[in-house]
Structure 1
Amino acid sequence: MTLIALAATDGMLHFELAAACEIFVRDPTGLADPWYDLVVCGPGPVGVGRFAVTPDHGLDHLARADTVIVPAIEDTDAEPPSDLVDAVRAAHDAGARMVSFCTGAFVFAAAGILDGLRATTHWAHTDALAARYPRVQVDPDVLYVDNGAVLASAGKAAAIDLCLHLIRRDHGSTVANAVARRLVVPPHRAGGQAQYVTTPVPAREDHPLATLLPWAMARLDRPLTVADLARHANMSTRNLVRHFTAATGATPSQWLATQRIRRAQELLENTDDSIDAVAEASGMGTATTLRRHFQRTVGVPPDTYRRTFRRG
């Protein structure tokens, strides 16, 4: 069982802390065994937003955890509490996986664990983070960053995206998708997607992409091109790319690649189909192509992913 230690100190914001509790306290799917064991760690009773929180353990308990989560702090102009910074540094030195939500990245930066790494925070604070901690490679245009052992998300909804990403890493796509359905949120938004877009994902029936996306999802096993999508949407490729990027934060090619990897993950988890069959059904064409893109995107070969997350 993975022990998650959630840091709580005075001046933290309650949304991200509550989101972590909602997502990691219990398995809502019945599919993952074992699930996570979440504990809250703090210096004593603390005020989080308009709520009082009584931690389970002191901050020194962070160093005993497999994963440490630091939610957003409200005052980014002040130095983060030194006891929290010291506890975070000790947990990192002990080998914990470190996760920051929103302005929690300022705590990580103060502890020095973001030095030389990519990181992000809420777009309104990225300039301040970069100016105060020049050794951190701040990326203002992403939802979250995964450096392997150190991860950081942008604000609020992006924290949920990062939680689902962690579940996908630990338990596979099927479990992460089931948790997303319970939360009524998109099952996957790639970390490299823009923090905010001018238009939401299309919900109106008259939106140019409203029928295109389901049409493409039903045809992932076919060699779809951007020209095919544009033709079905009855628009030029340039116009399609503009609408697509505004609505999803990704180009049509990026969106197709993401959907095909997700389809491959689901097939690897839930079927005994050969790698060749999975490649064909997900639109990758050949096992060689699937292995190359899967390794680059997921971080492991399809065979290893299947052995880790195969259901039943």
Structure 2
Amino acid sequence: MSYKPPYKITPKIIDLVSKISEAVGSFYAQEELRLHRINRIKTIQGSLAIEGNTLTTDQITAILDGKPVIAPINEVQEIRNAIKAYELLDELNPNSLEDLLKAHLTMEAGLIDDSGHFRSGGVGVASGEEIIHYAPPAERVPQLMKELFEWLNNTEEHPLIKSCIFHYEFEFIHPFSDGNGRTGRLWQTLILANWRPVFKNLPIENIVYKYRKEYYRAIAISGGEDGCTPFIEFILGVIDETLALENNAPRSTRDKIIEQIHNNPKITRNELASILGITSDGVKYHLQKMTAKGVIVRHGSARSGYWEVVKG
């Protein structure tokens, strides 16, 4: 491996990696499709809003449902493309340059003429009206991207750290004429999801949008003596905050019942009532509803049987 991106592992990075790893280990991975859908909508809205897309989560929901929305045509197309690109997460290989080009083709279809191909001209990273970084010349892009993927394939760095480094290096190279930001954020999510699948449904991009000024500042101040260290620290902080928010989000009675059944398949109705703080009849209502929907299944008798979670 000839190329190694410049960066330093600071105590802050080590602390954040430790906190995030612990949070991921204890994360309540909710499998309810509705919640996955909500977080995916947040992810897409946040990632595209960073670059000026004005569509709301309600409008994105309408597009997902195939309903017409009144909005600029190009912004609607951006959303449709992003929906398709994030649906590819299960198919894409984070270590494949060819798959990256496929993702960009999907992300930019109908928006630019050279989607899925490296740029042929000069570009820069802009924060509002200010250019904060001029990318390398177009003729260097293929070799730089090849070297970046060789590093990604061979590095032994922790996935949390290498995903941040890749994200920064990708934005530094800025390999495409447009769509670099949203494609880079998608690829970091893919790298993280390859480590822990729960990242497929964490709205990290939504928190990046919340701190978009700091995001561009982290890009701007990286690249000096400490390399991309400021960017690594920033993105790890965003991931840490995202996990904290998701872990502390209020859960429905249904989710709590699923958690308790996972912990103890033989749990009784009275035990559930005591843990959840509701009546036994209330638990009975939820169990019957969840059974009817195929979320849980009861095996055996009331005394010696056990519950099985089918969807969740």
Higher strand share: 1
Identify which of structures 1 and 2 has the higher relative contact order when contacts are C-alpha pairs closer than 8 Å and 6+ apart: 2
TM category, shorter: under 0.3
User: Scaled by the length of structure 2, what TM-score is found?
Assistant: 0.24
User: Scaled by the length of structure 1, what TM-score is found?
Assistant: 0.24
Higher helix share: 2
Task: Report the structure number with the largest CA radius of gyration.
Answer: 2
